[in-house]
Structure 1
Amino acid sequence: MKAEDITVIDLVGKTSLADAMIIASGNVNRHVAAISDALIEALKASGLPTPNVEGMPACDWVLIDTGDIIIHVFRPEVRQFYNLEKMWGTDRPNERLDS
């Protein structure tokens, strides 16, 4: 579905919510919906349980929770506003180890 700017964040040791977070962008709401629909169908086809999905009616930001992996599909403006990469990335000040 040609998702753009795909980022994978390892969450092991940071939270018990999931092991990884995938963040991707779609150009417009319809593109976000198409990417999300394709992901949901692929997850179902692989035999995994149906994921929990939030945000499909508006499609500014769709969250797909598979249990082990949380997938966020954003419109670029919404992604920039929430900036999850900064929130969960490795550059978080309280995540740095003191030498």
Structure 2
Amino acid sequence: MLSTEEKTQAVVAALEDVKALDISVIDTSKLSPLFDRMVVASAQSTRQTKALASSVVVKLKELGATVYSTEGEDSGEWVLVDLGEVIVHIMQPAVRAYYNLEELWGVQPKLRANSGK
């Protein structure tokens, strides 16, 4: 069974594999009883948003983690992957700017990657 930190690292790696932009990790353990980490990443197209979500799902399943659900693949503007204690939001830049989850949660995220390299 993966720890929260191992799941988070695997999510970030899966996002980096498909060139996600502006990946941030927010520690929500003291803010919500529902999950301990929120990972937010940007994608440049609906195709990339879906590919990023798929990469996260495949990688985490390979590691034995449970993927509880994915939402939003139909539109591809914002896809949520629920891994239990780790929640992943993959968003188009305009959607991400509009909802500004980092500010909504009132935290400064730890940036893991700033570019698609």
- Give the TM interval when normalised to the shorter protein: 0.7 to 0.9
Distance 1:33 1:51 in 2: 17
State the SS of the aligned residue for 1:53. Answer: strand
Distance 2:79 2:29 in 1: 22
Question: Normalising by the residue count of structure 2, what TM-score does the alignment of the two structures yield?
Answer: 0.75
Q: Is the CA contact 1:9–1:89 (under 8 Å) kept in the aligned structure 2?
A: no
1:35 alignment counterpart: 52
Distance 2:70 2:42 in 1: 16
Q: Which deviates more, 50-59 or 17-26?
A: 50-59
2:65 alignment counterpart: 48
Residue segments in structure 2 that go unaligned for 5+ positions in a row = 1-17, 109-117
Distance 1:6 1:34 in 2: 15
Shift of 1:48: 1.0
State the SS of the aligned residue for 1:90. Answer: coil
Q: CA RMSD in A?
A: 1.1
Q: Is the CA contact 2:67–2:81 (under 8 Å) kept in the aligned structure 1?
A: no
Q: How many residues align?
A: 91
State the SS of the aligned residue for 2:73. Answer: coil
1:83 alignment counterpart: 100
Question: Normalising by the residue count of structure 1, what TM-score does the alignment of the two structures yield?
Answer: 0.87
Q: Is the CA contact 1:10–1:20 (under 8 Å) kept in the aligned structure 2?
A: yes
Residue segments in structure 1 that go unaligned for 5+ positions in a row = 92-99
Q: Is the CA contact 1:21–1:69 (under 8 Å) kept in the aligned structure 2?
A: yes
1:63 alignment counterpart: 80
Q: Is the CA contact 1:52–1:66 (under 8 Å) kept in the aligned structure 2?
A: yes
State the SS of the aligned residue for 1:73. Answer: strand
Question: Which stretches of structure 1, 4 residues or longer, exceed 2 Å deviation after superposition?
Answer: none
CA radius of gyration, larger in? 1
Shift of 1:17: 1.3
State the SS of the aligned residue for 1:48. Answer: coil
Q: Is the CA contact 1:60–1:74 (under 8 Å) kept in the aligned structure 2?
A: yes
